[in-house]
């Protein structure tokens, strides 16, 4: 082993890296972007407040005392629901994560417990199983009920909690996780595929040589787009099949899901073409693609529910294309909520048209 050879090669690599301003910039900028994003997500976790909607059918001193205990918990914000409301319709119309229903026998059972320790009453928690924060809220409520039981009976279990899912079918978390993985995988495939194709072909002079062939720029782009669609459908099929056979995934294949996969592919292929147009070097373009795709992955609700992030990040997430892809796929594949699926699909189609057309217009074969 010759240390001089190792040091010389290392020195040459450092000089090559230093001579590429774009590579230097993204090497430094990418970790800074990630730490800023994760810092923003988790720095405000102590200040997170979850909304719980409470329908008090008892309207008694005891029920009001329980509501007061919940309202004094800093992590919870209580919202009153009118007694006349149909709770299922209310949850559907207002997209409620967690709702508590206090039964009209609440105070009667508590008063009876002073003479009969065997009686008990349950409040009902309606929750959305797609949100991991629902489990956190349930734990907080259970602790509050334990405290309330201690106040009333000194430890006897009088008040308990039953849960009801607000989604009709019995879904697990993997059912809600997989649509996000489909959107993220297609995003990564199309962005990096377009970047690699455009920057590598430009570097090797292939784009310039295409000017001498009968194929037009639009024909060439569309042919490559068909290939990206092919890869997108393969990725989607593999993810769904693994989910079905390994995780017993419950999923619905709908026309809107197909439209979202196609639009998603066009959308992020267009973004990749735009990046490849302005970032000339292959290595630098890959880092620029990562600087765009990775933050979008974490901020658009692929892995983390938006409720776990500070409000300003929740607002920012709603301008990201991947957010509408994820929500559209979940509503089309899981919730079977046609109206919301159409709403989010419309945004994805608009984003796809804008970015893909911009990518076509900006892609040049001639060298500048």
Give the end of a domain, one of 138, 165, 192: 165
DSSP summary character for residue 41: H
Tokens describing residue 44: 């405000």
Residue 264 has pLDDT above 90, yes or no: yes
What CATH number has the domain bearing residue 52? 3.40.1710.10
Rounded Cα distance, 315 and 222, in Å? 34
205 phi-psi bin (left φ>0, alpha ψ -120 to 50, beta other): left
Instruction: Supply φ then ψ for residue 169, to 5 degrees.
Output: -95, 165
- Whether 121 and 255 share a structural domain: no
Alpha-helical (H) ranges within 50-105 are 61-71, 87-94
Query: Does the residue 367 lie in any domain?
Result: no
Rounded Cα distance, 114 and 40, in Å? 50
Looking at residue 167, its pLDDT comes to 60
Give the end of a domain, one of 132, 165, 198: 165
Looking at residue 308, its pLDDT comes to 67
Identify the domain containing residue 139 by its residue range: 48-165
- Whether 306 and 339 share a structural domain: yes
* Among 191-205, 272-286, 347-361, the range of highest mean pLDDT: 347-361
- Whether 177 and 279 share a structural domain: yes
- Whether 246 and 301 share a structural domain: yes
- Whether 195 and 140 share a structural domain: no
Considering only CA atoms, give the Rg of the chain.
27
Give the end of a domain, one of 114, 139, 165: 165
Query: Does the residue 333 lie in any domain?
Result: yes
Confidence of residue 352 (pLDDT cuts 50, 70, 90): very high
Condensed to tens digits (0 to 9), the pLDDT of residues 109-164 reads: 989 988 887 888 999 998 876 666 777 788 888 888 888 888 887 767 889 899 88
pTM exceeds 0.85: no
Rounded Cα distance, 105 and 93, in Å? 27
Looking at residue 322, its pLDDT comes to 94
Looking at residue 2, its pLDDT comes to 63
- Whether 149 and 184 share a structural domain: no
- The Cβ of residue 229 has, within 10 Å, a number of other Cβ atoms equal to 18
Q: Which residues of 275-286 are buried (b: 16+ CB within 10 A; e: fewer)?
A: bbbebebbbbbb
Rounded Cα distance, 139 and 127, in Å? 13
In order of 176, 207, 230, 231, 334, the CA distances from 224 in angstroms are 31, 13, 10, 11, 31
Rounded Cα distance, 120 and 321, in Å? 49
Query: Does the residue 32 lie in any domain?
Result: no
- Whether 317 and 201 share a structural domain: yes
- Whether 185 and 334 share a structural domain: yes
Query: Does the residue 265 lie in any domain?
Result: yes
- Whether 69 and 216 share a structural domain: no
- Whether 215 and 271 share a structural domain: yes
Rounded to an integer, the average pLDDT of 325-337 is 87
Rounded to an integer, the average pLDDT of 98-108 is 92
Q: Number of folded domains in the chain? A: 2
Rounded to a whole number of angstroms, the distance between the first and last alpha carbons of the chain is 45
- Whether 218 and 83 share a structural domain: no
Greater confidence (88 vs 263) lies with: 263
Query: Does the residue 40 lie in any domain?
Result: no
Confidence of residue 102 (pLDDT cuts 50, 70, 90): very high
- Whether 71 and 131 share a structural domain: yes
């Amino acid at each position: 082993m010759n240390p001089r050879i190792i040091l010389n090669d290392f020195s040459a690599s450092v000089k090559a890296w230093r001579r590429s301003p774009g590579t230097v910039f993204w090497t430094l900028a990418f970790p800074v972007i990630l730490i800023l994003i994760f810092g923003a997500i988790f720095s405000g976790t102590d200040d997170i407040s979850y909304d719980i909607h409470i329908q008090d059918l008892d309207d008694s001193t005891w029920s009001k005392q329980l509501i007061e205990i919940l309202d004094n918990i800093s992590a919870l914000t209580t919202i009153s629901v009118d007694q006349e409301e149909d709770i299922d319709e209310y949850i559907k119309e207002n997209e409620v994560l967690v709702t508590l229903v206090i039964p009209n026998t609440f105070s009667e059972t508590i008063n009876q417990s002073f003479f009969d320790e065997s009686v008990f009453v349950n409040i009902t928690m309606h929750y959305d199983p797609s949100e991991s924060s629902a489990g956190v809220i349930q734990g907080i409520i259970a602790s509050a009920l334990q405290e309330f039981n201690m106040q009333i009976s000194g430890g006897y279990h009088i008040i308990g909690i039953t849960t009801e899912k607000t989604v009709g079918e019995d879904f697990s978390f993997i059912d809600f996780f997989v649509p996000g993985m489909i959107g993220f995988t297609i995003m990564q495939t199309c962005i990096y595929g377009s970047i690699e194709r455009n920057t590598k072909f430009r570097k090797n002079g292939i784009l310039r040589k295409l000017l001498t062939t009968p194929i037009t720029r639009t024909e060439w782009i569309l042919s490559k787009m068909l290939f990206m669609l092919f890869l997108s459908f393969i990725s989607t099929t593999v993810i769904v099949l693994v989910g079905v056979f390994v995780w017993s995934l419950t999923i619905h294949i709908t026309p809107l899901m197909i439209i979202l996969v196609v639009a998603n592919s066009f959308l992020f292929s267009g973004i990749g073409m735009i990046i490849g147009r302005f970032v000339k070097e292959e290595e630098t373009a890959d880092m620029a693609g990562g600087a765009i795709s990775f933050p979008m992955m974490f901020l658009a609700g692929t892995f983390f529910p938006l409720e776990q992030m500070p409000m300003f990040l929740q607002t920012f997430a709603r301008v990201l294309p991947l957010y509408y892809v994820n929500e559209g796929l979940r509503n089309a594949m899981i919730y079977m909520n046609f109206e919301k699926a159409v709403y989010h699909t419309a945004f994805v189609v608009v984003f796809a048209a804008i970015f893909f057309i911009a990518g076509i217009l900006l892609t040049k074969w001639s060298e500048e």
